[in-house]
Each structure stands twice: as C-alpha cells, then as structure tokens.
C-alpha cells in the first residue's frame, strides 16, 4: 500500500499495474503529448514522491497513444511558447528542477523506464537520453528538430548524447534535426529493446517487474554506481563515493541479510521496502 497519496495531476495518468510499479502516462494526445507548463510542474512533483514512496521500486513513463499521430512526447508545447513570446513574455522556457518533465536532468534514486510508441522529439528525446532504460516500438522515431524551429535543446540532452553516442553522432542529430528509427537508435545504444507496435508499454512493465523483483536496496545502489559515470569523476572516486555513501545503507540493512540467508536456505528472498 502507498504510504502517501500521489500528487494531483490533470495532464498525467498515474497507474499501478503491479505491486511496486508506477506507470506515468503523459495525457495530452490532442497535442501529441507535448509538455506545457502545467504538465512540467505536474511531472516534476511526481518523481520526488516516487523516490520517497517506499512501496514503489520502478517506474515507467509513456505517452497516451490515442492522438491523430502516436507520440511518446513530441517535445515542448510550441504553441504555448509562441503565445507567451508574442505576448511579450521572456522567450526562455523555464524547466522545473530535474529538467524537461522533471526527467532530463534528474538524478533521483529509483529507476525510470521509457515506453516509446510513436514520436519522441525535442523534449521527448531530452527525457529519453536520461532514462535508465528505453523500450520502443518498431515504428517509433526519435530526434531533435529544434534547429528546424529556431530553438535549441537546453534541458541536458546535448552533453548527455555526446557522452552516450560520441561527438559525431550527437552532432548529426543536433545539427541536422533528422530523426532516427527505433532500430537505428538501438544500434546507437539509445534504445534497449525494439518491440512490435503497441507492445512497448507491456514490455516496459515486464522489465519493471523484473527490476522490482530484485533487492530494492541493491537496485538503488547499483543505479547510483552506474550513474556515477555521468558526473565525470574517476572510477576510484565514483566507486568510493557510492560505497561510502548510499552503499553503507545496503551493507547494514535487512535486505542484504535476507538475500544471503535465502541463498543459503535455497529459497526465494522476501525483500523489505528500502529504507535508503
């Protein structure tokens, strides 16, 4: 059971398809799930709540596919942006803490998986570049079309892409604005799994269940260890910081004792909700 209720949201659908799993659906299909100011704020409130809710162990984010054209997220709501600028407002879009949708620069504690069925453009791509895993349907397309609209991707994707795929490939996406197919994105290492159309959410939830079946302490610490590379520290520094930081909670917690005991007793472990 949830310890605290989820934050209220009008442009998101929050669902719990299985014990320990949260699914966040961007629910603006009429606008190809573009994110406006309200949706940014709603999403930015969900992720701290998710991290702090002990019963939740893995999250999936997806887009409502019911619009005229399927989309995970087609980016920033450019109509809202244009209206604001035409009215004399500051042309700089202020993203919430954590970046686009609270995700593109999120560090956080627990994993988030993307289930992409359709377009992931601009801010949608910004979010994907910082996801722990990405599952995409075969017909999905990913890209950064900002240069075709006179804007630029400011929410963290450009340096992340360079770290992930290298200077030349990142430059190709950012400077030409062309889109990648799901299979090409998988070849570049930006997508974990390519599945049939309409299957991305089902497969992503299955992956989330697999993660949630592991020790929640171990998942949190392992994720922190993987992500330590994003901060530009040396291997020794990153390993030490994780081991002496959140890793201490794992080593003194109840789940490590349960996991080792279950191995010796040749049974499945019964994990407690993480206290990390």
> What confidence score (pLDDT) does residue 67 get?
75
What is the tally of structural domains in the chain?
2
Helices (H), 57-189: 78-86, 123-128, 157-165, 167-176, 182-187
146 annotated active-site: yes
| Residue 204: per-residue pLDDT | 98
Q: In whole angstroms, what is the distance from residue 271 CA to residue 274 CA?
A: 8
At 45-66, the pLDDT tens digits run 999 999 999 999 999 999 999 8
Q: Is residue 270 part of a domain?
A: no
pLDDT given at position 257:
96
Cβ(113)–Cβ(133) below 8 Å:
yes
User: Is residue 191 one of the residues assigned to a domain?
Assistant: yes
State the catalytic residue, choosing from 146, 184, 210, 237: 146
Which pTM does this prediction carry?
0.94
Q: Name 261's Cβ contacts closer than 8 Å, sequence gap at least 6.
A: 269
Q: Does any domain span residue 109?
A: yes
The answer to whether residues 134 and 227 belong to one domain is: no
Domain range spanning residue 233? 216-264
At residue 232, the pLDDT reads 74
Tens-place pLDDT, residues 200-214: 999 999 999 999 999
Q: Find the catalytic residue in 126, 172, 184, 254.
A: 126
CATH number reported for the structural domain that contains residue 110 in this entry:
3.90.226.10
Residues 115 and 146 in one domain: yes
The pLDDT value recorded for residue 81 is 66
**8 A C-beta contact, residue 86 and residue 113:** no
pLDDT of residue 162: 94
Half-sphere CA count of 71, side-chain side, radius 13 A: 24
In order along its 276 residues, the chain shows pLDDT tens digits of: 899 999 999 999 999 999 999 999 999 999 999 999 999 999 999 999 999 999 999 999 999 998 778 999 999 987 776 666 665 555 556 677 899 999 999 999 999 999 999 999 999 999 999 999 999 999 999 999 999 989 899 899 999 999 999 999 999 999 999 999 999 999 999 999 999 999 999 999 999 999 999 999 999 999 999 998 877 778 898 899 999 999 999 999 999 999 999 999 999 999 999 999
Whether residue 244 is found in the same domain as residue 190:
no
For residues 202 and 248, state if they share a domain.
no
Q: Where are the alpha helices (DSSP H) in the chain?
A: 37-52, 78-86, 123-128, 157-165, 167-176, 182-187, 200-212, 216-227, 235-244, 246-252, 254-264
**Residue 88 forms part of a structural domain:** yes
Question: Rounded CA gap, 246 and 224, in Å?
Answer: 8
- Give pLDDT, residue 84: 63
- For residues 114 and 172, membership in a common domain is answered with yes
Q: Same domain, yes or no, for 181 and 252? A: no
Other CB atoms within a 10 A radius of the CB of residue 53 amount to 18
Q: Are residues 244 and 137 in the same domain?
A: no
* Whether residue 76 is found in the same domain as residue 203: yes
Q: Among 196, 212, 228, where does a domain finish?
A: 212
In a domain, 19, yes or no: yes
Mark whether 159 and 119 lie in a shared domain: yes
> Does any domain span residue 3?
no
Q: Are 227 and 219 contacting, i.e. CB atoms less than 8 angstroms apart?
A: no
Does residue 175 share a domain with residue 80? yes
- Regarding whether 166 and 30 lie in a shared domain, the answer is yes
Catalytic, 210? Answer: no
Is there a domain that residue 67 lies in? yes
């Amino acid at each position: 059971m949830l310890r605290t209720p989820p934050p209220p949201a009008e442009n998101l659908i929050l669902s719990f398809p299985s014990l320990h799993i949260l699914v966040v659906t961007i629910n603006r299909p009429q606008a190809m799930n573009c994110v406006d100011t309200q949706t940014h704020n709603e999403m930015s409130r969900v992720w701290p709540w998710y991290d702090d809710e002990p019963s939740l162990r893995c999250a999936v984010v997806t887009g409502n596919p019911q619009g005229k054209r399927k989309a995970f997220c087609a980016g920033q709501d450019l109509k809202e942006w244009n209206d604001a600028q035409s009215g004399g407002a500051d042309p700089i879009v202020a993203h919430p803490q954590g970046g686009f949708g609270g995700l593109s620069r999120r560090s956080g504690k627990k994993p988030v998986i993307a289930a992409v069925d359709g377009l992931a453009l601009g801010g949608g791509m910004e979010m994907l570049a910082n996801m722990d895993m990405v599952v995409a349907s075969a017909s999905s397309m990913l890209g950064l079309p900002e240069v075709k609209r006179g804007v630029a991707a400011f929410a963290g994707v450009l340096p992340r892409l360079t770290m992930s795929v290298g200077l030349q490939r990142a430059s190709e996406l950012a400077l030409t604005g062309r889109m990648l197919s799901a299979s090409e994105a998988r070849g570049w290492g930006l997508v974990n799994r390519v599945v049939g159309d309409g299957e991305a959410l089902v497969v992503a939830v299955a992956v989330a269940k697999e993660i949630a079946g592991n020790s929640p302490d171990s998942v949190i610490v392992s994720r922190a260890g993987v992500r330590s590379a994003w901060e530009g520290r040396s291997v020794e520094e990153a390993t030490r910081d994780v081991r002496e930081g959140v890793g201490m909670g794992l080593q003194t917690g109840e789940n490590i004792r349960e996991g080792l005991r279950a191995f010796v007793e040749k049974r499945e472990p019964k994990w407690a909700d993480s206290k990390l």
